[in-house]
């Protein structure tokens, strides 16, 4: 059985399979592998089957259905779905049920989407492995001794393990692209402002974006078609005409200018990653693209800027979890004790670390030295990217230093922060980027990013599609995904 949205859509409209049958198959497979994979935090089978039946009724009545209609997916557990739990993998929101829908969910509803549950993640999306989930980590479907990446590790593990055809993730500093890379999938982080953040539990508001994790590039374009677009409820949403991203899916990169920014290939990038991307560069050359060496010096400061700006914004966004407004509340002799106990017991270690860091860099004595300076370097980084795009259509870079790492491999939080070097510059500059499979090393997938200019989604999809069409060997199914 094939798993892509576009193939299953054909089967649905040709009545080879019904959406109810399909959804039941995915639920059964999920229930079989979840004990090993733990991609889900909650399941929504009843709603999924109801929605699937509605799609089947439409097909039976000869109505046209959307590409996504009736095809089982899943949603990262920091995206609000009305009436469903939304925990952000935190004890703080363990029993919180969302009273409203995120804009992306409303858009998906308009397409008759089917979702079989909410996926695991690092607490409040802070992390790179799902090891920070209050509910325990997800496992990599290629080898369960390895992390699936993070923070959208549950969303990636669910697709790689064949538990869902597509999922939504969120990406603040790499959380869609890095888990997609670790699980051998396609992950797309849209231009900042292309997809509404309304109803996404905020981590760092100037960086957060929702995007798809899928088996292939075509599916990424299909999901992006559904979720992108202007939203009045998000003041940072870009007013934009509707675009059909599938128009970009042509196996042709002739004349395309592809930049190789040397700062993404520095110290720490494993030889196997470099070798895989070198082969990709050869492919693009042969296919008629022009390869250009470029330099974006401020990429080197990316991690430093990110770990000032993201915690600063997080410390402000997470101030609302005070035991009064939502979720968990601890006892205390007075209101201040209640507040302190709630935050002390409700948040995990990493979240507390980021709140402390954020408060520190925003405090009166350090604001200018850290926060303000970071904002200035962020601007320089964005300008350096803009300059590179005067010469190039897209840029190529690794999605991560190498393949997935083992559980417990990082005991020093700073060493793990350094691993974000390939992904955080893209969020800081607000750019779109897609991670696609670029090979294997020791049985685990490697990923490559194609980074575009602002609203250059079509360019990155085109370059990604051409590579994928000529490298079917990289889109294999993970062992846990075999049905």
Contact residues toward ligand GLN (CB under 6 A) are 125-128, 151, 171-175, 203, 310, 420
Q: Which residue has the tokens 């075999």?
A: 482
Q: Which residue has the tokens 């069409």?
A: 469
Residue 79 or 253 having the CB closest to ligand GLN: 79
Residue 174 or 358 having the CB closest to ligand GLN: 174
Write down the least CB distance from residue 177 to ligand GLN, Å. Answer: 9
**Residues 378 and 307: beta-carbon distance below 8 Å:** no
DSSP annotation of 259 = E
**Smallest Cα–Cα separation from 469: which of 250, 273, 289, 156?**
250
Helices (H), 212-334: 217-227, 271-286, 302-317
**Smallest Cα–Cα separation from 192: which of 436, 476, 433?**
433
Give residue 28's region: left, alpha or beta (phi > 0; psi -120 to 50): alpha
Tokens of 462: 């085109």
Residue 82 or 300 having the CB closest to ligand GLN: 300
Write down the least CB distance from residue 409 to ligand GLN, Å. Answer: 14
**152 catalytically annotated:** no
**90 catalytically annotated:** no
**CA 50 from centroid of its chain's CA atoms:** 27
- Which residue among the candidates 66, 133, 175, 401 is catalytic per the annotation? 175
Write down the least CB distance from residue 275 to ligand GLN, Å. Answer: 25
Q: How far apart are CA 253 and CA 257, in angstroms?
A: 9
478 φ/ψ angles, rounded to the nearest 5 degrees: -65, 150
Residue 218 or 399 having the CB closest to ligand GLN: 399
Residue 238 or 400 having the CB closest to ligand GLN: 400
- Which residue among the candidates 115, 133, 151, 170 is catalytic per the annotation? 151
**205 catalytically annotated:** no
Provide the CB-side half-sphere exposure for 31 (13 A, CA). 10
Tokens of 150: 């993070």
Write down the least CB distance from residue 34 to ligand GLN, Å. Answer: 23
Write down the least CB distance from residue 131 to ligand GLN, Å. Answer: 11
**Residues 288 and 308: beta-carbon distance below 8 Å:** no
Residue 4 or 128 having the CB closest to ligand GLN: 128
Give me the residue whose beta carbon is nearest to ligand GLN: 175
Beta bridge partner(s), residue 91: none
- Which residue among the candidates 18, 19, 66, 76 is catalytic per the annotation? 76
Give residue 233's region: left, alpha or beta (phi > 0; psi -120 to 50): alpha
Write down the least CB distance from residue 253 to ligand GLN, Å. Answer: 28
**Catalytic residue list:** 76, 151, 175
């Amino acid at each position: 059985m094939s798993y892509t949205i576009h193939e299953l859509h054909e089967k649905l409209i040709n009545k080879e399979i019904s959406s109810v049958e399909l959804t039941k198959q995915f639920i059964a497979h999920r229930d079989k592998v979840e004990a090993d994979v733990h991609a889900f935090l909650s399941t929504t089978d009843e709603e999924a089957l109801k929605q699937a039946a509605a799609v089947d009724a439409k097909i039976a009545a000869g109505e046209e259905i959307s590409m996504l209609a009736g095809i089982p997916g899943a949603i990262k557990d920091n995206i609000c779905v009305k009436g469903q739990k939304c925990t952000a993998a935190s004890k703080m929101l363990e029993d919180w049920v969302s009273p409203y829908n995120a804009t992306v969910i409303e858009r998906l509803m308009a397409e008759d989407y089917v979702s079989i549950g909410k996926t695991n993640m690092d607490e409040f999306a802070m992390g790179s492995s799902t090891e920070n989930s209050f509910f325990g980590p997800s496992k990599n479907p290629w080898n369960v001794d390895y992390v699936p990446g993070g923070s959208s590790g549950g969303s990636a593990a669910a697709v790689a393990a064949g538990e869902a055809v597509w999922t939504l993730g969120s990406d603040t500093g790499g959380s869609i692209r890095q888990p997609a890379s670790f699980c051998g999938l396609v992950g797309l982080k849209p231009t900042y402002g292309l997809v509404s953040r309304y109803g996404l539990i905020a981590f760092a508001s100037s960086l957060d974006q929702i995007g798809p994790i899928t088996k292939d590039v075509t599916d990424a374009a299909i999901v992006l078609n559904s979720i992108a677009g202007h939203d009045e409820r998000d003041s940072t949403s870009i007013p934009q005409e509707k675009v059909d991203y599938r128009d970009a899916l042509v196996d042709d990169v002739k004349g395309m200018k592809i930049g190789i920014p040397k700062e993404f290939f520095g110290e720490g990038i494993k030889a196997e990653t470099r070798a895989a991307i070198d082969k990709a560069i050869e492919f693009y050359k042969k296919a008629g693209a022009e390869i250009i060496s470029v330099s974006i010096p401020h990429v080197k400061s990316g991690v430093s800027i990110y770990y000032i700006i993201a915690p600063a914004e997080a410390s402000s966004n997470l101030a609302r979890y005070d035991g009064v407004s939502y979720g968990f509340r601890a006892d205390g002799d007075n209101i201040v004790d209640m507040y302190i106990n709630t935050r002390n017991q409700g948040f995990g270690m990493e979240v507390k670390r980021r709140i402390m860091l954020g408060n520190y860099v925003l405090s009166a004595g350090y604001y200018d030295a850290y926060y303000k300076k970071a904002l200035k370097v962020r601007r320089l980084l964005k300008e350096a990217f803009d300059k590179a795009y005067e010469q190039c259509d897209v840029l190529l870079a690794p999605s991560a230093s190498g393949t997935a790492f083992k559980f417990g491999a990082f005991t020093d939080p700073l060493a793990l922060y350094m691993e974000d070097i390939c992904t955080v510059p893209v969020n800081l500059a607000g750019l779109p980027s897609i991670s696609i499979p670029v090979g294997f090393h020791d049985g685990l997938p490697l990923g490559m990013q194609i980074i575009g200019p602002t609203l250059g989604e079509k360019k990155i999809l085109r370059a990604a599609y051409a590579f994928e069409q000529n490298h079917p060997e990289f889109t294999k199914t993970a062992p846990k995904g075999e049905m």
